[in-house]
Amino acid sequence: MIEVQELWKTFGEITAVGGISFHVDEGEIFGLLGPNGAGKTTTISVLCGLLNADSGTVRIAGLDIKKQNRQARKILGVIPQEIALYEELSGRDNLRFWGSLYGLSGRELRAAIDRVLDLVDLTERGDDPVREYSGGMKRRINLCAGLIHQPKIVLLDEPTLGIDPQARIKILDIVREEAARGKTIIYTTHYLEEAESLCDRIAIIDKGEIHAIGTLEELTRLVGEETLVTIRGDFTAAQVKPLLGRVNFDHLEEGCLRVKIADRGEIGGFLGRLFPAGINIDTVSIREPNLQSVFLKLTGRELRD
């Protein structure tokens, strides 16, 4: 549905996007995960035709975004990172404006406005000025503006930035619903939990480069991540070390032991050696491989850096 090949975009001496390639299948939620400045917004801007790439190709449903920009935009819905609303107008008036730009009018436009307001649970506030909306409400109306014409492909650039958890959950639910209806979605975020829970596949992007693409399971397997078990209690390193055997321990000090386990089935056997030896254990915590550990291993820094 979306094909990107060797995409480059520079601003002076700054390389915002450095030769990235990826594809997105029909009905897929594809995540671009990376920190601020990673190249996510630049990529979205090129995909929707707001920016021209220096080189590379972008095809949207088979349409070349450079040569067939007008046709491609008709099937694209774009939800930008910045709120694209007029504060003095009501939510309905904003949606009337954006809907008319997509060629909607009359009864069709009114029905579309009612549909998207109901989708985001803002029917009762639709006639209020946007300046009176909370940040989460503005984000939801912003989402409506990109969905009003029922696009086949939706590009969402950090749509939950700076909003409360309840509004974030609502937006994520809407994204899932739209994908379930067959829409193809690119979703940019720097929130690990969003990418983990929402996206079918994830591209890890940093400093304009894509370091890896895959499902969460594929990414964690790619970098060889293991389950990390942390054990705390009243014990010494000298007491525990002889009991480790071939276990790969990540950290060992007085009262704290961290071990890496490739197979979760090994955890029971390992603890079974500690308890009979009289090791006093207070807590055992288990951390599965996650995107934070994957991002750190691939880029050499944590996502929040």
Residue 78 belongs to a domain with what CATH number? 3.40.50.300
Q: Are residues 234 and 186 in the same domain?
A: no
Range of the domain at 64: 2-221
Assigned token pair, 46: 């090129």
User: Average pLDDT, stretch 252-276?
Assistant: 79
Is pLDDT at 242 greater than 60 in this prediction? yes
Q: How far apart are CA 26 and CA 138, in angstroms?
A: 29
The pTM of the full predicted model, rounded to 2 decimals, is 0.81
Contact 153/77 with Cβ under 8 angstroms? Answer: yes
Asked whether residue 54 falls in the same domain as residue 67, the answer is yes
Please name which of 117, 96, 94 lies closest in space to residue 108, comparing C-alpha atoms: 96
Q: Do residues 173 and 241 both lie within one domain?
A: no
Residue 304: band (very low, low, confident or very high) from pLDDT cuts 50, 70, 90: low
Residues 123, 192 within the same domain: yes
Indicate whether 46 belongs to any domain: yes
Q: What is the pLDDT of residue 274?
A: 83
300 or 150, higher pLDDT: 150
pLDDT exceeds cutoff 60 at 305: no
Both 180 and 236 in one domain: the answer is: no
Q: CA-CA distance, 39 to 206, in Å (whole number)?
A: 7
Q: Based on the fold, state whether residues 276 and 202 are members of the same structural domain.
A: no
Measured torsion, CA atoms of residues 62, 95, 186, 157, in degrees rounded to the nearest 10: 130
Q: In this structure, is residue 80 part of a structural domain?
A: yes
CA 114 – CA 220 distance, rounded (Å): 43
**Are residues 165 and 54 located together in one domain of the fold?**
yes
> Tokens in use for 272?
């079974």
pLDDT tens digit string along 91-128?
999 999 999 999 999 999 999 999 999 999 999 999 99
The Cα–Cα gap between 268 and 273 comes to 9
- Assigned domain for 303 exists: no
Report if residue 297 sits inside a domain: no
| 250 and 217 together in one domain | no
SS in 3 state form for 55-96? EEEEEECCEECCCCHHHHHHCEEEECCCCCCCCCCEHHHHHH
Q: 293 lies in a domain?
A: no
* Domain membership flag for residue 60: yes
Let me know whether 136 and 231 are in one domain: no
Distance of alpha carbon 240 from alpha carbon 227, whole angstroms: 19
State whether 105 and 239 are in the same domain.
no
In a domain, 215, yes or no: yes
Domain edge (last residue) among 198, 221, 244? 221
| Number of structural domains in the chain | 2
Closest CA to 99 of 89, 114, 109: 109
Tell me whether residue 304 is in a domain.
no
The set of residues, in sequence order, having a beta carbon less than 8 Å from that of 136 and lying 6+ positions away, is: 163, 164, 166, 167, 168, 170
CATH of the domain at 255: 3.30.70.1150
User: Mind listing the pLDDT tens digit for each residue in 43-87?
Assistant: 999 999 999 999 999 999 999 998 898 898 899 999 999 999 999
Residues 240 and 190 reside in one and the same domain: no
Q: Identify whether the C-beta of residue 184 lies closer than 8 Å to the C-beta of residue 206.
A: no
In sequence order, which residues have a C-beta less than 8 Å from that of residue 22 and are 6 or more positions away? 4, 30, 203, 210, 213
pLDDT reported for residue 230:
86
> Do 214 and 231 sit in the same domain of this protein?
no
Please list, in sequence order, all residues whose beta carbon lies within 8 angstroms of the beta carbon of residue 169, skipping any fewer than 6 positions away.
none
